[in-house]
Structure formats: structure tokens, C-alpha cells
Structure 1
Amino acid sequence: MKKLLTTVAAGVLAGIPIAGLTSAAHAQETLTVGGYGGSFETLMKELVIPQFEKENDVKVEFVSGNSTENLARLVAQKGNQDLDVVILDDGPMYQADALGFCAPLADGVINADVYDNAQFSDNAVGLGYVATGFTYSTEWFEREGWEPPSSWMDLTDPKYEGLLVVPPISNTYGLHALVMMARLNGGGEDNIDPGFEAMADKVAPNVLVFEPSSGRMSELFQSKEIAISIWGSGRTKSLADTGFPAAFAYPKEGAVALMLAACPVVESNVPEAAQAFVAYMLTPEIQERIADAMGVGPVNAKAEISEDLAAIVPYGPEEVASLVSVDWDVINPHREEWTQRWAREVER
């Protein structure tokens, strides 16, 4: 509404006729989307937004930031949001939805071709799948005569001492590792102690560094300081695209799903455009573009991707169904507590 009032005021000062004011105000309708920076921002600005603007006669502004930053933006601007659509990782999206920042999805936004496990709630929907598992140097493994990693318990294998990286728990990949180690040692999200014990006593001795930065992780592989890490299928693709001999391995107990997700934000000035944008992101054409640029598996069953990409990312109904989901309703209330505990016990 502020944007519209500003346009109208400017028109009055310029002496534009009433008809001209209506046209100018309509042309200035703006949809503000918050999402990831880097390659995702480039994708949005070059391959997604221009077509949407043309088809829907609306201007789109893109605000870049990681999931934590954009969730904090929603919290800080409660009651006066500047975002109309927000794109977050699944964990922060569950938080955003629980805190009441997501508006109900309109009928028809989620089409019949979207996989069931991409449908978060009545207010949010997944845009793409990333699998959390093993990234490893094929060159290193071939030289040593090692088989590709095949189990989450391989994190405890002494041969990886000083050659392994696990992101910290502040990073979703590290959190997934903690949950899976808990599950495989008699616990789970509601009994996390076995996970902490396994990470501290059996995994940490193998870890060179608990690295949160994707850029630094890539450097560690490329400088041949590490042979293996817990990472995402999309990140593995990006590393392989540089020419580095990287491969992704799915643990036999299941790779954990990390999903990109979107929701229309409450109290938007352009609610219809916000709903249309989410629906647009779920079309096969845009799903294919997101998959290719970001290395994520499409949530739309009709999206088609290359064989090379399909070998890395979760693709097709069988692989999508095999992904392991974590219980964010249990995790999120304990996230801060677990983060402090990780610093004391695992990265000590």
C-alpha cells in the first residue's frame, strides 16, 4: 500500500491525469521475494523472474539472504512485512510457518504432479529436494582402493582420520548427521543423547574441521586436504562442475531430505501475485531450471532432467520416497540447546 500511495502522490505532483495515475499505479505493483543469494539469486534474476513479470504484469524485487537471515527478517518485521514470498530451507520454513508468517496456499497452487512429501502444510510447499549424504573424492578413493561410503556408520571408520569434514550443527547437514547417528545408536530426535555420544566419541576423532562454509569446503577438497565429507547432493554437483572428481553417495540407511521451500507471507500487499509466484515455481519448466542451476531434485513429477544430473540429485518417485525426513517439530524447540551442547561436547 505504501508503494501504491507513493506512486499516486508522485503522479499528482507531476500533474498526470487520473487515467494516467491508474495506469502508473498498476505498473508499479511490486512483489518482493526473499531467497538465497549466489547462484540461486542469479537463476531467479536471469531465468525465472523476467518471464513471471511478463506473464503477470508485475515487477519482482529479489532480496537475497540465507535461510537464517530471511527468517530473522520475518521476525523483525512482524506486522509490517516487506516480503511477499519467502524461500527457505525446510527447517527454518517449519519455524516460519509455526510462528504464523506463512499465509494459507490458495486452491490450485499445489498442482496434482507435486509429490506428496513436498507438501509441508496448508501454508508452505517444497520447491526442490537436496539429499544429505557423502561427498567424496573419487580420485582419492580409487588411489587408496576404497569402496565408496555406504553407511552413516562409515563416519566412524578410522581410515578417515583427519580426512573427514562434518559441518557444525548450526548447518543443516551437520544437524542431519547428528540425528542419523542418534537413530543408528538407539535414539532419535526425541532421545538425542546417543547421537551426541557417537559424534563426540566416534566421529569427532576423524574430523579435520567442522566447516560451515560451502566455499571453504570446496577449497578443502580441491587442495586435497580432505577425501570425504557430509554434504548435500546439490553442493556435490557444484563441486563436480568445477572439474573436481567429486561424487555423491547415498547411505544405505537413507539420505536425509533437505528441501527448498516457499510460502506466501501474511499481510502481503499483493496476495494474488504472491500465490501466483509460488504456483509458477512449481511448474515443470521452472522446476527444470531450478534443478539444473541449483542441483536439486524436482518436486514436480513431470519435470525432466539430464541423466548426469539425475545420477546425483533425488529424482523420480522411488528416490524421492526413499529420502529420510527428520522431525522438525521436535528439533526446532531444542535447536539452541543442542547448538550449545555441540560446542561443549563435539567440537571441544
Structure 2
Amino acid sequence: MIRTSLLTATMLTCAAGAHAQETLTVGGYGGSFETLMKELIIPQFEEEHDVTIAFVPGNSTENLARLQAQKSAQELDVVILDDGPMYQADALGFCAPLEESEVKGELYDLAKISDNATGIGFVATGFAYNTEWFEREGWEPPSSWEDLTDEKYSGILSIPPISNTYGLHTLVMMARMNGGGEEDIDPGFTAMADEVAPNVLVFEPSSGRMSELFQSEEIAVSIWGSGRVKSLADTGFPATFAYPEEGAVALMLAACPVVDSNVPEVSQQFIDYLLDPEIQVRIADAMGAGPVNKNSELPPELAESLPYGDKIDDLLAVDWDVINPARQEWTARFAREVER
């Protein structure tokens, strides 16, 4: 009797082991993105692929550092980062090659970061402004990067520092507007220090604090992301995003399969899942990131505010291969010369 019970228990244990679910570990943004993933995206994938997903929250800097710290034994199977850090992760050899698939053939060219990494959502860097304030003053919406130098914005303008991607985009655009660019950044520093900084109330890195500055009417305008503006407007605040006539800069949410994953097939499947037209709409609705899949169809209220359709053609890209090696030096210089 005892032997029979032991044999039965052993058989059940072996059967359970044979059907044990694989675990896919995904590193991505915390906050609202983590909520989106856990409520609207992960459950369906787990059910369809008989897999368990462990989500590791962290900002791009934290998850890039996690990849570096775990170089010899990676914990993550898929990582989701801003495009700048993703270029670094790819250059450092942390991203495995992407497998060809039908859905990858549906992407905008701008979303194709490399053979190892892909964009999963577009955010535009441009102007956020308080529509009621502008109407009160009789002002036209901001329409050019040069508007940052307009004295009427003195003391009511905020821009993130260049440790934040929105601030970095601003520096690059001011360099381009003044005859330079990524490889000649000096004109950008001069313009920021002499013409833009005098208008800036605070170089604010925190998105939460930026929202508070708008809501308390300490600022009327900022350089920010289209997704952040959507989130603020969703609270009922009269915030609108404006695309500069020279072009808004693309900030991409990006994903790559991590090297040496023990579930490489599932990692590839999960990235393709994120690129599916329907999932792209969910990401757009929850995160304010325009779809990278040309076949995604947004409802009118989202299509109006997010990078989508014809707006994609007007987005500008920055050269991360030039920026990343210089970024630490630029950040120290920005604090010294512009934020002083």
C-alpha cells in the first residue's frame, strides 16, 4: 500500500514537472506601464503560450544597469528601454538577433533600430502647453523650436535637463537650428545658455513634478513627450501637444531579446506579440505611444494627439551613435553652463 502510494506520488510529480510552465522574465518601465503590462497585455500572452511572465520594473537607466551587472548570467529574457539606452544595450552586446516574422514587415522604417532591437511605440518630443492660459493671453500655440527663445515665455517655461531624453532632444534641436548638430553641439549649448535658459523657470526632470507645475499654473509651456501630455490631459487639465514646424523628435519605446536567454523562442514570440496591431492600440491608449505597426488603426481621439499616420513621416531621429559616447560629458557641461 505504501509502495503504491509512493509510486503514485512519484508519477504525479514527474507529470507535473513535464508540464511545468516556462518563465519569461521581462524588464520594463514601472508605474503605468507595469500596470498596462500586467492587466492588458501579459495575461493574454501567458494563456496563448502556456508561459508565466515575471515582470521586473525599472526605468531605462536601471534596466540597462541590470543588464551590465548580470552580464555573465542574465536574469532578463526581454528588455524594454527608451531608444537611447537601447542603442547602448545593443552596442554592448546584450541584445540577441531578432528573428524575421510577418509582423516585423508591417513596421515603419523609423522603428527598425537594428537587427537586434525594434521600436514598440512612438512618442514625439515637442511642446506641451496650457490652452486656457494661451487663450487668456491671446497667444498662438507654439510652433517652432525657436519659440523657446521668445521673451513672453520668461519664467513660465520648463524644460527637462539633458539627463532626460526630452531635454537632450531640445539641446540637439537648438544645435541644428543654429548651424550645428550632434557632431557639432557647441551652437546648441550657446543657444540654450544665452537665449533659452533665461526663460526657464526650472529644468525639471520629474514627470510628476512637471505635471504639478502645470496644474499649479507655475508654468504655461514646456518641452515634453506626447504621451506625457496625453496623461495630463486625461486628468481633465487643459493640456495640448504641439508639433514644431521643423519636426518633433521621435522617442521610441524599444524592445530586444536578451542574449543567453533560456527561453529564446518565447522571447521572440513576446516581442512579435507587442508588435501586433491590436496590442499596439492597447499600448497607444494606455501609454500615449503611437503605434509602430502601419496596420494599427487608432480611434479618432487618439489619432489626433499621438504620433500616427502621416505624422510619423515628420518625426525626426537623433544620432544615438554620436550622442551616447558624449552624453556624460554633455550632461556635466549642461549643468555647468546652462543650469547654472
Q: For this structure pair, what is the TM-score category when the shorter chain's length is used for normalisation?
A: over 0.9
Give 1:108's match in structure 2, choosing from 101, 119, 123: 101
> Structure 1 residue 20: deviation in Å?
3.7
2:215 aligns to what?
A: 222
Is residue 2:301 matched to residue 1:283? Answer: no
2:3 aligns to what?
A: none
State the distance in 2 between where 1:223 and 1:21 align. Answer: 62
Is residue 2:317 matched to residue 1:322? Answer: no
Q: Secondary structure at the match of 2:302?
A: helix
CA 1:191–1:36 in 2, change beyond 3 Å: closer, same or farther?
same
State the distance in 2 between where 1:26 and 1:252 align. Answer: 57
CA 1:57–1:337 in 2, change beyond 3 Å: closer, same or farther?
same
State the distance in 1 between where 2:147 and 2:252 align. Answer: 24
The residue type equivalent to 2:123 in the other structure is: V
Q: Secondary structure at the match of 1:62?
A: strand
2:167 aligns to what?
A: 174
State the distance in 2 between where 1:29 and 1:309 align. Answer: 36
State the distance in 1 between where 2:29 and 2:275 align. Answer: 17
> Structure 1 residue 16: deviation in Å?
4.7
CA contact 1:167–1:173 (8 Å) conserved in 2: yes
Runs of 4+ in 1 over 3 A off after TM superposition: 13-16
Moved more, 110-119 or 70-79: 110-119
TM-score relative to the length of structure 2: 0.96
Percentage of identical aligned residues: 74
CA contact 1:109–1:276 (8 Å) conserved in 2: no
| Unpaired segments ≥5 residues, structure 1 | 1-12
CA contact 1:166–1:230 (8 Å) conserved in 2: yes
> Structure 1 residue 199: deviation in Å?
0.3
Give 2:204's match in structure 1, choosing from 198, 201, 211: 211
| Unpaired segments ≥5 residues, structure 2 | 1-5
2:146 aligns to what?
A: 153
Is residue 2:326 matched to residue 1:334? Answer: yes
Is residue 2:115 matched to residue 1:139? Answer: no
The residue type equivalent to 1:324 in the other structure is: L
> Structure 1 residue 23: deviation in Å?
3.6
> Structure 1 residue 109: deviation in Å?
6.6
Q: Secondary structure at the match of 1:168?
A: coil
State the distance in 2 between where 1:22 and 1:103 align. Answer: 33
State the distance in 1 between where 2:318 and 2:165 align. Answer: 11
State the distance in 2 between where 1:236 and 1:151 align. Answer: 18
Moved more, 152-161 or 303-312: 303-312
The residue type equivalent to 2:74 in the other structure is: Q
- Over aligned residues, Cα RMSD in angstroms? 1.4
> Structure 1 residue 15: deviation in Å?
8.5
Give 1:41's match in structure 2, choosing from 34, 43, 48: 34
- Cα distance per residue 1:251-305 (max 9 Å; x no partner): 0000000000000000001001100000000001110100000001001111111
2:77 aligns to what?
A: 84
CA contact 2:21–2:50 (8 Å) conserved in 1: no
CA 1:15–1:335 in 2, change beyond 3 Å: closer, same or farther?
farther
The residue type equivalent to 2:30 in the other structure is: G
CA contact 1:287–1:303 (8 Å) conserved in 2: yes
State the distance in 2 between where 1:236 and 1:109 align. Answer: 33
CA 1:183–1:22 in 2, change beyond 3 Å: closer, same or farther?
farther
- Cα distance per residue 1:43-95 (max 9 Å; x no partner): 00001000000000100000000000000000010020000000000000000
